[in-house]
Amino acid sequence: MQDAIRLTCLSCGQANRVPLEKLDAGPKCAKCAVPLLDGSVATIDTQTHDKAVRFDAVPLVVDYWAPWCGPCKTMAPEFAAAAGALRSKARFAKIDTEKFPALSQRLQIRGIPLLILYANGKEVARLSGARPASDIKTFVMQHL
C-alpha cells in the first residue's frame, strides 16, 4: 500500500514525497516552500515538464501556448479557473512554445493553444483550441 506520492515542484523542479494523509493540508515544496497543490497555474520549463510528466502521481494538464497567440491569451483566465476548480484532481501548468521549440517538435504540436493531459507517466488525451473553463473541466474529468 502506498503511503506517499511524488510531486515535482512546478516552481523549482524539486522532487517531493508527500504523505497521502497530508495532500489536503496544502503541502509545500521542501526546497522553495511553494505550495504543491494550490489550484494555480504554474509556468514551467522543459526540464520541469519532463520530470512532472514522467514521475508525478497527480495528473498534470499542460497548456502549450505562445505570447503572440490571441486565442491563447483569451483562454488563460479560463484555464486558471479550471485549475482552481480541479485543485484536488489535477495540477495545471503552461509552457511557452516560443521559448521551448524543441519540446513542441518532440510532442508534434501543430497548433496552439493545445492542452495535453498526462497521468501515470504518459499522455492521456489532447484538447486543441481555446476553450471555456467548463470544457476544460469536462475534458479532464472524462479522462481521469
Rounded to the nearest 5 degrees, what angle is found at the Cα of 128, between the Cα atoms of 85 and 41?
A: 35
Q: 60-65 and 91-96 as β-strands: parallel, antiparallel, unpaired?
A: parallel
Q: 114-119 and 91-96 as β-strands: parallel, antiparallel, unpaired?
A: unpaired
* 32 assigned to active site: no
Rounded Cα gap, residues 23 and 12, in angstroms? 19
Q: In the numeric block, which cell numbers belong to residue 71? A: 486565442
pLDDT tens-digit series, residues 70-120: 999 999 999 999 999 998 889 999 999 999 999 999 999 999 999 999 998
pLDDT tens-digit series, residues 4-45: 889 999 999 999 999 888 888 889 999 999 999 889 999 999
* 12 assigned to active site: no
